[in-house]
């Protein structure tokens, strides 16, 4: 993995822990770029599929501008918005990036992914995963499902540290959001520890 230049509170996440970032089903922002175009959209449908190598699946409608950019570049990012970005998440999930640069429109600052150069969002996000598309034409066509390998990951140390999420009263703004539909999200809140 190339050197990661991290801003503020972001720290690298070991690749063997990358699946934990989306294990609990957060809504994500999918970031992509190709040539001089870039885009960001919201996606509620993603999941890990393998721990090592870390692989994920995410549903991206084949008609979207994001899918076009991913097909061209073979790469994308999954950024995990905190509660403070719920409005933005809903907004970018309801407009196309074909005719407008949503980063510029919403004043979103993107950094460049360390391995593949994907635009990644840190401000207001809890974590990001930089992903290399594994081309699976049938799954993409039949189920809009894109498989990918995570090649770099980082998280805000105020909420994910030492390989573990830490949801606390003092980091509510960074807690992940989970879309119920229609702009209603639930926040990953109270922690339960199972007693085996």
Residues that bind a copy of itself (CB under 8 A): 20, 23-27, 44-50, 55, 57, 59, 83, 86-87, 89-91, 94, 136, 138-139, 143-145, 147, 164-165, 167, 177-196
Nearer to a copy of itself, 33 or 43 (CB): 43
Alpha-carbon span 114 to 86, nearest angstrom = 26
Alpha-carbon span 79 to 92, nearest angstrom = 13
Q: Where are the alpha helices (DSSP H) in 53-136?
A: 65-73, 86-92, 102-106
DSSP conformation letters of 131-160: EEEE--HHHHHHH-EEEEEEEEEEEETTTE
Alpha-carbon torsion 46, 50, 55, 61, what sign? negative
CB of 157 to a copy of itself, least distance (A): 16
CB of 113 to a copy of itself, least distance (A): 23
Residues 135, 142: contact at Cβ < 8 Å?
Answer: no
Alpha-carbon torsion 119, 177, 87, 158, what sign? negative
Alpha-carbon span 191 to 177, nearest angstrom = 15
Residues 69, 33: contact at Cβ < 8 Å?
Answer: yes
CB of 190 to a copy of itself, least distance (A): 5
Nearer to a copy of itself, 15 or 33 (CB): 15
Nearer to a copy of itself, 33 or 125 (CB): 125
Nearer to a copy of itself, 104 or 142 (CB): 142
Residues 42, 27: contact at Cβ < 8 Å?
Answer: yes
CB of 35 to a copy of itself, least distance (A): 29
Nearer to a copy of itself, 73 or 145 (CB): 145
Nearer to a copy of itself, 13 or 33 (CB): 13
């Amino acid at each position: 993995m190339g050197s990661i230049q991290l801003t503020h509170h972001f720290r690298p996440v070991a690749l063997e822990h990358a699946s934990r970032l989306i294990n609990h089903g957060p809504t994500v922002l999918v970031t992509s770029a190709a040539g001089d175009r870039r885009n960001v959209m919201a996606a509620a449908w993603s999941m890990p599929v393998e721990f090592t190598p870390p692989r994920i699946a995410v549903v991206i409608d084949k008609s979207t501008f994001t899918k076009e950019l991913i097909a061209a570049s073979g790469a994308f990012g999954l950024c995990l918005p905190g509660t403070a970005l719920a409005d933005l998440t809903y907004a970018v999930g309801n407009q196309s990036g074909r005719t407008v640069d949503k980063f510029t429109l919403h004043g979103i600052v993107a950094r460049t992914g360390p391995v593949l150069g994907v635009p990644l969002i840190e401000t207001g996000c809890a974590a990001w995963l930089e992903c290399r598309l594994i081309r699976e034409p049938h799954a993409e066509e039949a189920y809009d499902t894109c498989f990918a390998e995570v090649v770099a990951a980082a998280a805000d140390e105020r909420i994910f540290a030492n390989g573990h999420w830490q949801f606390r009263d003092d980091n509510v703004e960074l807690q992940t959001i989970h879309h119920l539909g229609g702009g209603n999200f639930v926040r990953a809140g109270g922690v339960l520890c199972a007693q085996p």
